[in-house]
Chain A
């Protein structure tokens, strides 16, 4: 029967977990690195949606970006793999346990340079997982070389010009099979949150290309991935908000202004029109706006494409609902009669 006032109740999500349960270890990346903002958004989104962190597996390749899974979701298993080959590890792990929510974090070098092959095949399989490219157009850990997403004509700190055109990872993902494709900016908190939440709810490959400036090697005049360049050139396709399945949709939808897309789990992605009509279920239109934006040197952000109907790779494999990794012996070792049958055929 204490007479002192009770401490204010701790803020928890629908699982009773606090936001601290979604944090990782302290970041070792540079101060103001765009990647740190993305880690913060991941923490917020997983916390706010009440995702069980013990059901999440984190994957990464090599590079600054790929260190970041240590800095969020400390209660989740994580795997820092080899350069450019996170997709293979993630695919194997998620086939072993299809009930995990997989999130991969990679960089532009890791994905578009060394890892372009694995990236394309992951896309082609529509492997159900979240795939975030922390895209700064430059190699940080090896101290500032161009990657394959660096824009034509952009320069390094040393003044070196980039003579080759960039891969647009969103365009590649659109063309070859990803079912959720979005581009955002690490500095755009609200938009990135809505996109990550949609990715969590999506069943299929969610490709999120986040322009995430490198403050040490690529934030100068002449860079097209600097904070100031992106702020000046960002063009949002639309305004996004995400309504999770456990919240009532309270606001009436004004005809023609807002489009609601229902996700598998009953959540809604709410897309509010800005200055253009844009249909994110039209793949051809998505490719066209990217091409147009590229010509105008715009950084076009928002949800480029969303298809909630296409079967995932796991659907195609006709796998049992239970994770195969831990099936009991009775399910994975055929009977004595089966062996007898196989032997008899060979006699």
Chain B
């Protein structure tokens, strides 16, 4: 039986001639390595500076130069910053893809294109704006070698005229982009943008179906990618040993961290680094170094993606059993290396939850925004030391590598807590210690660091073959006791992980459960379902594994719960199923997307409708 209304409730159909303000998506199709990133960032920033909520998403190939790349900018007065599938406005610069890009558009869309491509011949239901880019770029860029890079800036000017983006903001964004040191480059680009604007003003009537208009929804906000936000979080968490091996999409996390640490983490008195950052030979080494550093008392981290996680598997098991703190950032993407390494996915959830050999399970934090990348990084470092275990911060390519609007990060007021570490004085007072004894009932023993100046401080670290004094043993009872304590520790974590965030609606009988970047699509979909179909849906966003009691409670309260996964096999759903009894499992539905692009609301809405109608 379906709860669905037969016809959509209040679907708004666009009337011809009606101009939509501050609600559009622009797609720019270019060739990678052609300098389009600058033009796209500037356009996005200019709209942001006009106070309009905006997001930018880069869909790029695994390539340095020559292959097609797309950038989508979405402006939304309602604050929707997830991906939107429908393209209202296309800038077609890439001859390779232009015809297909145009073919895919919905009727009524508008297209700025490079004149020689003659795209206007393809369809009669679109509005075309031909622009002679080569002719326009020559006079503003006398150096022929630079023309390829400056050429794209012309479309910023053209789009600015057509959509009423304020040119002063384009100029400001350019200055911001290039900084003071590259004033010449900024000027060159500005002239190109200006040439595009002037050409459009001379050539095209202002009659586009979309426009932007200044509002006041971005005041005080910042623009940042998730990787940089994680980097800032790690730095303010007091990370001291960072190890890594380059892998898309996590490389820029550590590169950003290197930049920040060089500026803010040099000892002002000595000019020396209060940290070590090591580019390791591979992920086998980077995780080993991070765990070694955690063992010796450092706040340590590494950042990687799925293939790197696979390589880290054995060490993570040792980290679990030997109880070593470390923070591992997994910026998820499509795997393997020759998969779609530059496309997004939540593909590692199930693998990471139980990564490695034997009975292992690991806490995961799931930030969904730059704000949470920052705050949960700090939480993760605290958590790793509190529970003496590897902690995973699970983000994805969409969050990590795209630019997001965010509130400025609040300064961490809570003092650092380094967990249960005994000093020489503590040991003297206690008369000794047992490394793996559960003194406090939370499953977490007290540890000492190498270098502690007490004769009773040392212990020998090895995997699971130890008793509570860290002595070698293969006794059945010692092993079972140790494993039970580790299981208990995991249950205690359940009460200390970040709680889920719940969005409730009046009269909802169905619900969503999702993690990370699915958030944007799910929240927008909740609006779509209610507005267009009269379906109220509640939404619980999980922020960590192990799951807290509130998840069970949420499922109990609903008839059906859609578990949203950005992977083929419903990994989050599978993890839920491992924990629940049959009555709760029976309520779970799987909603999956795995095409490699950021999840969009319409995909979620359509899938819910399909399943509700069955």
Spell out A's residues near B (CB within 8 Å).
21, 53-57, 59, 69-70, 74-82, 85, 87-97, 99-100, 117-118, 121, 317-321, 323-327, 329, 331-334, 336, 338-339, 342-343, 346-347
Contact = CB atoms under 8 A, between A and B. Distances in A.
Given A121-B285, A339-B409, A70 B460 contact: yes
Contacts of A329: 238, 415-416
B310 to A, nearest CB: 15
B510 interface: no
B238 A95 contact: no
Given A92-B294, A93-B450, A117-B285, 17 more contacts: A54-B454, A77-B448, A77-B460, A82-B318, A88-B292, A92-B293, A92-B298, A96-B241, A100-B296, A121-B281, A320-B267, A320-B274, A324-B276, A331-B267, A339-B409, A343-B408, A346-B408
A347 B408 CA distance: 9
A174 B473 CA distance: 39
Interface string B405-420: 0001101100110000
Contacts of B516: none
B458 interface: yes
A250 to B, nearest CB: 34
A346 B403 CA distance: 11
B293 A54 contact: no
B240 A325 contact: yes
B580 interface: no
A59 B411 CA distance: 39
A80 B290 contact: no
Interface stretch (B137-145, B181-189, B216-224): B216-224
Given A82-B288, A88-B284, A333 B460 contact: no
Interface string B276-288: 1110111011111
Contact of A89 (B291, B299, B453): B291
Given A80-B462, A85-B284, A346 B224 contact: yes
A317 B296 CA distance: 18
A74 B458 contact: yes
Given A320-B267, A347-B222, A88 B240 contact: no
Interface in B224-248: 224, 232, 235-241, 243
A118 B472 CA distance: 27
B86 interface: no
A96 B296 contact: yes
B280 A79 contact: no
Contacts of A69: 460
B281 A333 contact: no
B273 interface: yes
24 contacts: A55-B451, A57-B296, A70-B472, A77-B449, A77-B460, A79-B322, A79-B461, A88-B289, A92-B292, A92-B293, A92-B296, A93-B295, A117-B282, A118-B285, A319-B272, A319-B276, A320-B273, A321-B270, A321-B272, A324-B275, A325-B449, A333-B238, A338-B263, A346-B223
Contacts of A54: 451-455, 457-458
Interface of B: 220-224, 232, 235-241, 243, 260, 263-265, 267, 270, 272-278, 280-282, 284-300, 314-315, 318, 322, 408-409, 411-412, 415-416, 448-455, 457-463, 472
A291 to B, nearest CB: 27
B275 to A, nearest CB: 6
Contacts of B450: 56-57, 76-77, 93, 97, 100
Given A85-B284, A320-B274, A80 B296 contact: no
Contacts of B285: 85, 87-88, 91, 117-118, 121
A85 B315 contact: yes
B561 to A, nearest CB: 37
Given A320-B274, A334-B265, A343 B222 contact: yes
A333 B417 CA distance: 13
B232 A97 contact: no
B273 A318 contact: yes
Contacts, number: 219
B265 to A, nearest CB: 7
A339 B240 contact: no
Contact of B458 (A78, A94, A118, A342): A78
Nearest to B460: A78
A346 B406 CA distance: 10
Nearest to A55: B451
Contact of B280 (A74, A88, A342): A88
Contacts of A93: 292-293, 295-296, 450
A138 B35 CA distance: 57
Contact of B270 (A79, A121, A320): A320
B401 to A, nearest CB: 16
Which 4 pairs between the two chains have the least Cβ-Cβ distance?
A88-B288, A92-B292, A92-B289, A96-B298
Contacts of B241: 92, 95-96, 324-325
A311 B275 CA distance: 18
Contacts of A100: 296, 450-451
B523 to A, nearest CB: 24
A67 to B, nearest CB: 9
Nearest to B471: A25
Contacts of B449: 77, 97, 325-326
A226 B459 CA distance: 34
Contacts of B453: 54
B101 to A, nearest CB: 31
A266 to B, nearest CB: 23
Q: Identify the interface centre among A80, A97, A320: most chain B CB within 10 Å of its CB.
A: A320
A52 to B, nearest CB: 8
B288 A92 contact: yes
Contacts of B221: 347
A10 to B, nearest CB: 16
Contacts of B411: 336, 339
Q: Identify the interface centre among A76, A90, A99, A338: most chain B CB within 10 Å of its CB.
A: A338
A77 B280 contact: no
A202 to B, nearest CB: 20
Nearest to B284: A85
A96 B298 CA distance: 5
A118 B281 contact: yes
B408 A95 contact: no
B235 A334 contact: yes
Contacts of B282: 117
A118 B241 CA distance: 18
B451 A332 contact: no
A113 to B, nearest CB: 14
Given A96-B240, A329-B415, A332-B238, A82 B315 contact: yes
A89 B295 contact: yes
A333 B449 CA distance: 21
Contacts of B457: 54, 77
Contacts of B264: 334, 338, 342
A92 B291 contact: yes
A92 B448 contact: no
A75 B459 CA distance: 8
Contacts of A321: 270, 272
Contacts of A87: 285, 288
Given A118-B284, A334-B235, A339-B409, A96 B300 contact: yes
A82 B295 CA distance: 14
A328 B210 CA distance: 55
A334 to B, nearest CB: 4
